[in-house]
Amino acid sequence: MSLEAARAADVLAALSSPIRLSALAELTRRGREGATIAELAYALDASVPQTGDACARLVALGLATGSGNGVYRARPEGLRDAAAAVDNLQPISPLLTEYPQLRGYFAHGRLSSMPPTLSERYTQLGQLLARFLDLDGLYTEDEINKRLAEVTDDVAGVRRMMVDTGWLERDRAGSTYGAGRPVPAAVDGSPRTA
């Protein structure tokens, strides 16, 4: 596990505590004004020691800042950093960096929408997914489905799109799949399109 992933795990574990999550939410709500431990304790209906401990933990994780005058403020970019670390662990992420034009179709390493059918990006998505599958022989439909399920909930739709765009080929019975055409390698960090 990378250092970023371990840090993201720490952030998520820390926010599983209701008092810490409530403290972060209240600090976020207060914005730049922030709050003292006493103000937070009152707003959260919690004890000052509990609230102080929650704030200290949030500061240690980079989710809040504390000033010399005792005012704490939320630091939401700490959550964005943790989310980015989790996103980077997704299996499609290394390839997606080479297809910046397709980023909008993915959310947290999963395909969330498809480009229009006749667009160039539709074909580029097929190419990206063909590179992700990295087929070197024949596979059953279940094997293809299992691999596609790593990046999409609409396995059947994506599989069909890959067949339609020629990146995936199936036999007449529809039970065996293989690479439809050679997948071009990235050149200078940007994909070649067919």
Interatomic CA distance for residues 178 and 185, integer angstroms: 18
- Residue 187, classed as helix, strand or coil, is strand
The pLDDT value given to residue 193: 44
- Residue % of the chain over a pLDDT of 70: 93
The type of residue at 63 is L
Kind plus residue range of the DSSP H or E element containing 81 = helix 77-88
Read off the pLDDT of residues 157-177 as tens digits, 9 standing for 90 and up. 999 999 999 999 998 887 899
Average pLDDT, the chain: 87
Q: Do 8 and 86 meet the contact criterion of CB atoms below 8 Å apart?
A: yes
pLDDT in tens, 42-78: 999 999 999 999 999 999 988 999 976 789 999 988 8
d(CA 50, CA 18): 11
SS3 call for 149: coil
- Quick one: pLDDT band at residue 143, thresholds 50, 70, 90? very high
* Contact present, 148 and 159 (Cβ < 8 Å): yes
Q: Which tokens go with 104? A: 């909008």
Question: Domains (ranges, CATH) in the chain?
Answer: 3-81 (1.10.10.10), 90-179 (no CATH)
pLDDT tens digits, 73-111: 999 888 888 887 777 778 888 888 899 999 899 988 889
